[in-house]
Amino acid sequence: MKKYSLIILSLTILSILSCKQEKKIEVSLESNQEVSKETSQMEEVIAIHDEVMPKMSKIGRLVAALRKKIDSDQGTAIDKQAMEDLQDAHKSMMDWMQGLGTKFDPAEIRDGKALTPEKQGLLDEEEAKIKIVKEKINSSIESAEKLLNE
């Protein structure tokens, strides 16, 4: 009886975890056949990270340009705030990456290793956090570029 309970519990957990996955259908151009590709929530979270991570160097350049403007006494309080927003966005990304690395092992991040229900909850939190980080990065860059192009 214990074996059956364990099997049912395992299947229930697997069902819950599989609900967090989204199926994407791609059409192969060569064979015109549908190819099913699962995209896990972890892959989506990492994709958001990968989208905004290249912008970190842009943040560095914008901070340097604003610092130069501020140091030359041509900068305003708005310039200083824009520079601080860029630095905060940069720090948010670094903190998020460090947090992800402490909560999940490399196999869970890169190899699609199944997550426990507890870790699934943590992934939900990390997804919300990276979306906020993305918004901070994009908005701080946009604001700084406007100031520097004036």
The whole-number pLDDT of residue 74 equals: 86
pLDDT category at 150 given cuts 50, 70, 90 is: confident
Tens digit of pLDDT for each residue in 75-125? 899 999 999 999 999 999 999 999 999 999 999 999 988 999 999 999 999
Measured CA to CA, the distance from residue 88 to residue 136 in angstroms comes to: 8
Tens digit of pLDDT for each residue in 8-39? 434 334 334 344 444 443 444 444 443 333 46
DSSP code for 123: H
> What is the secondary structure of 53-80 as a DSSP string?
TTHHHHHHHHHHHHHHHHHTT---HHHH
The whole-number pLDDT of residue 4 equals: 41
Whole-model pTM above 0.85? no
pLDDT average, residue stretch 1-9: 44
Non-local (6+) Cβ contacts of 53 within 8 A are 93
User: Domain spans of the chain?
Assistant: 1-39, 40-148
